[in-house]
Chain A
Amino acid sequence: MKKALLILLSLLLIASFVLVSCQKKEEPAAEEMTEKAADDPYAEVRGTVVTMSGPFTDNDALKFDESIKSFEEMTGIDIQYEGSKEFEASIGIAIEGGNPPDIVDFPQPGLLKNFVQKGYVIDLNKTLDMDKVKSNYIESWLDMATMDSPDGKIMAGIWGRVNGKSLVWYNKKEFDAAGYEVPETWEELVELQNTIVSDGDAAWAVGIESGAATGWAMTDWVEEMMLRTTSLENYDKWVEGELKFDSPEVRKAIQTVADIWFADGMVYGGRKSIATTSFGDAPKVMFEKPPKAWLHKQGNFITSFFPDNTVAGVDYDFFYLPSVDPAYGRPVLVAGDIYAMFNDRPEVRMVMQYFATGASVEGWVKVGGAISPHKDSELSWYTNEVDRKVAEVIQNATSVRFDGSDLMPGAVGAGSFWKEMTAYVSGSKSLDEALKAIDQSWPQ
């Protein structure tokens, strides 16, 4: 019996020794390195690991890894990015369980705001070289990263990659063949719509179904119209909850959307099909032969849902959704990924500082699919015609505003706003009922 015990104990001891010795082995190696390259500015962080969590999977994850490779080689920091499609749910468990990744990549600032309010997020004002950061972003982005924590306002994150949303996509070949022209003003757009309808087709392809997130595509439309039919101050107040949904301004914006969506023959499939068509399937009818619908408003990410053999700039192109009232300029609705810091270590600071530079997305920009919000990035990086045009649209904007539903508290921005708009579109609720329900759901 004692023999068995001895064997057991010795096995455990051996296992621990193996581990301890493995650990020891690395350390002298690192020390040697410092001696060899005394002027290596990254000696301190070489061999360290920074964990990240976010929604990038599949292609996006590969592109992200690709674009940070040179930084990893230069500094010796290993950035381990763990992407998940159920990111929104899993990140809460990790953070509230007291085991957050070092850096979290939030596609929705509203979700980050929740964690800032609970006091989990590290203030970048105190940890990064903010002069460098501030000089590399336009004011709008910095404002959008400033959030309320229990200790007052903090800089909660930095913007890594952005998307433009105010874009109307069309099937370029067929569009040109049919003799349609890209509209520059709202009147021209209305005229184009009517021409398409009188030619016997539906003008717009619209779908807002998205599983548990059904309705977000509708909220994008409402935000576009908020930017185009009322002032920026009102938009900001609306996002903050100071301007009610049940107000003339918001009603007017929704009415502008409804005028297009609910008009006879304007949308492919009619009003009821909007709520049952997936946002990714919606644009596909534009590429059928002959096209069944001609226009589709969506962010630049939608191109990955287009049929495989289509080429940017040849088979499809986009135009800027014109302003309704010229008094409100050329606003652009954007979305993007904000990186927030949850553990404060030298190597994490270094990685965050790096994400505040255009170099961090250069690789991604070059292969397509990302727009850089950084001032030090160059238009020549965009090898893809469409991406460059999106970047231009954002640069030429008179104002940039973030997707409002992503900024509102989760209960509204990812809850009642989506749900009630869906109920309104599907016809199960009147606009009055829907707006009152949203106002009621706003957290006190």
Chain B
Amino acid sequence: MPGTDANLFPVFRRFSMSGNIDSNWNPFALAGLVVLTAVVLVGGFILLQTVQAYKVLMTVFAVVWGLLSTALLFFVLNAVAENIPRKIRSVSVAVVFAGPAVILLFWALVIPTLRTLRLSFMGAYAREYVGFSNYEFAFTDPIMLESFRNNLLWMIFGTSFCVIMGLVIAVLADKSSREKVFKSLIFMPMAISFVGAGVIWKFMYAYKGEGINVTEIGLLNAIVVAFGGEAQAWLLIPFWNNFFLIAIMIWLQTGYAMVIMSSAIKAIPGEINEAARVDGANSFIIFSRITVPYIMPTIITVTTTILIFSLKLFDIVRVMTGGNFGTNVIANEFYLRQFTYGNSGQASAIAIILLVVIVPVLLYNLKEFRRRRVLK
């Protein structure tokens, strides 16, 4: 940066060269500035809390105050960091810039998690400690056991179908001349919200009953009846109704798996495929020995993402069956316990279990992610 520019933009100089240049702040002025910043921060906060009228004005103020005071905070903290002796400056600058983010993360993530953990050992109204009875409920209640079973079905069948179909379609589309058309068609459901998809699929599975005067309007029943079968209440068929719901997730998520894996396939150097072909490999061998191993990291990332997703699954079940007819899942039961039944103890226990189950998958995903970064 040329000297003239640095003089024009003193702030930049300070930020970019804080390691080389000592601060020219007067310690007293700096202390005053720190106090002033604290006043602006706390004062704005108190003002926002107490003045509830003039909604528009307060919103504007909140935005202006929020942005400017954050800038001011960083500016002042940076100035403070520069005033710290050189020896520990690199540490202090890191604290200044990463500190607020870490604090926010702690406040918004770690504290709620710990609080949930505490609540999970307390009664419905968080008044007394009840030991492990909430966990006992979570692992013995018939509804919870049913939810665990169903989540397992979602994880195994939902995830594997999404990934396998995504992979197969990506490979096949790669060879097709109308690749773009096929891929857009398959990807399109991704744009639909889960609740919207639920409404659409309600029409697919619609069942109007049997007996006099009844006409079926559901697509699936129309197909079954056209082939001479009898209309079915699809969502009421025990056990198998889970698969009818899983089909919705597959419809929504296959596009996601396909797009990511398709881009990974495109990244395979053409020479490798050509060399294999020269050596006499057919398409299947190329697929199993070259394509799949080459894009394995992508497959793992996609799989873990969808796996976490199917563990947390909530919307489809809530919209389609509300968890009735043996289709309940953990997240829905958690929601019901917390918000409908008002039992924060049991709900927290379920949330903690869900967290414990998801964390290993998450860690594996992160590790994989980092490894790939290093490789590339």
Q: Which residues does A use to contact B, with CB under 8 Å? A: 1, 4-5, 8-9, 11-12, 15-16, 18-19, 22-23, 26, 49, 88-89, 92, 111, 114, 117-118, 200-202, 210-215, 265, 268-270, 272-273, 275-277, 285, 292, 409-411, 414-415, 419, 422-423, 426-428, 437, 443
Rounded to whole Å, the gap between the CB of B52 and the closest CB of chain A is 7
The answer to whether A409 and B214 touch across the interface, beta carbons within 8 angstroms, is no
The answer to whether B209 and A214 touch across the interface, beta carbons within 8 angstroms, is no
In Å, the complex CA distance between A272 and B318 comes to: 20
| Residues 41-56 of B at the A interface (beta carbon under 8 Å) | 43-44, 47, 51-54
CB neighbours of A411 from chain B (8 A): 337, 340-343
Partner of A202, one of B33, B71, B213, B238: B213
In Å, the complex CA distance between A277 and B58 comes to: 47
In Å, the complex CA distance between A400 and B351 comes to: 41
4 extra interface residue pairs, beta carbon distance < 8 Å, beyond A117-B125, A275-B233: A16-B44, A88-B340, A214-B322, A428-B236
CB neighbours of A111 from chain B (8 A): 342
In Å, the complex CA distance between A12 and B73 comes to: 13
Contact A11/B207 with A19-B61, A89-B339, A410-B341 known, Cβ cut-off 8 Å: no
Instruction: Report, as a range, how many residues of chain B touch the other chain.
Output: 35 or more
The winner among A8, A12, A92, A443 for most chain B CB atoms within 10 A is: A12
Contact A428/B212 with A19-B51, A114-B342 known, Cβ cut-off 8 Å: no
B188 interface hit (Cβ, 8 Å)? no
Partner of A292, one of B33, B213, B325: B213
Partner of B236, one of A210, A215, A272: A272
Rounded to whole Å, the gap between the CB of B351 and the closest CB of chain A is 15
CB neighbours of B235 from chain A (8 A): 276
Q: Which residues does B use to contact A, with CB under 8 Å? A: 10-11, 14, 33, 36, 40, 43-44, 47, 51-54, 57-58, 61, 64-65, 68-69, 71-72, 75, 124-125, 142, 206-214, 233, 235-236, 238, 318-319, 321-326, 335-343
CB neighbours of A114 from chain B (8 A): 342
In Å, the complex CA distance between A367 and B342 comes to: 36
The answer to whether B209 and A49 touch across the interface, beta carbons within 8 angstroms, is no
CB neighbours of A285 from chain B (8 A): 213
Rounded to whole Å, the gap between the CB of A347 and the closest CB of chain B is 13
Rounded to whole Å, the gap between the CB of A369 and the closest CB of chain B is 26
Chain B residue with minimal CB distance to A272? B233
The answer to whether A212 and B322 touch across the interface, beta carbons within 8 angstroms, is yes
CB neighbours of A201 from chain B (8 A): 212-213
The answer to whether A269 and B208 touch across the interface, beta carbons within 8 angstroms, is yes
Chain B residue with minimal CB distance to A48? B53
The answer to whether B209 and A4 touch across the interface, beta carbons within 8 angstroms, is no
In Å, the complex CA distance between A201 and B211 comes to: 10
CB neighbours of B58 from chain A (8 A): 19
Partner of A15, one of B51, B61, B233, B321: B61
Partner of B47, one of A16, A118, A443: A16
The answer to whether A12 and B342 touch across the interface, beta carbons within 8 angstroms, is no
The answer to whether A272 and B209 touch across the interface, beta carbons within 8 angstroms, is yes
Rounded to whole Å, the gap between the CB of B153 and the closest CB of chain A is 17
The answer to whether B52 and A15 touch across the interface, beta carbons within 8 angstroms, is no
CB neighbours of A118 from chain B (8 A): 125
CB neighbours of A414 from chain B (8 A): 340-341
The winner among A117, A214, A411 for most chain B CB atoms within 10 A is: A411
Partner of A276, one of B36, B207, B336: B207
The answer to whether A276 and B233 touch across the interface, beta carbons within 8 angstroms, is yes
Contact A11/B68 with A22-B57, A272-B236 known, Cβ cut-off 8 Å: yes
Rounded to whole Å, the gap between the CB of B79 and the closest CB of chain A is 9
Chain A residue with minimal CB distance to B125? A118
Contact A428/B343 with A19-B57, A22-B57, A272-B210 known, Cβ cut-off 8 Å: no
Partner of B211, one of A92, A270, A437: A270
CB neighbours of B68 from chain A (8 A): 8, 11-12
The answer to whether B326 and A428 touch across the interface, beta carbons within 8 angstroms, is yes
Rounded to whole Å, the gap between the CB of B28 and the closest CB of chain A is 14
In Å, the complex CA distance between A199 and B62 comes to: 69
CB neighbours of B11 from chain A (8 A): 1, 4
The answer to whether A12 and B65 touch across the interface, beta carbons within 8 angstroms, is yes
CB neighbours of B10 from chain A (8 A): 1, 4
The answer to whether A16 and B323 touch across the interface, beta carbons within 8 angstroms, is no
In Å, the complex CA distance between A1 and B210 comes to: 80
Contact A415/B65 with A16-B47, A268-B213 known, Cβ cut-off 8 Å: no
CB neighbours of B33 from chain A (8 A): 5
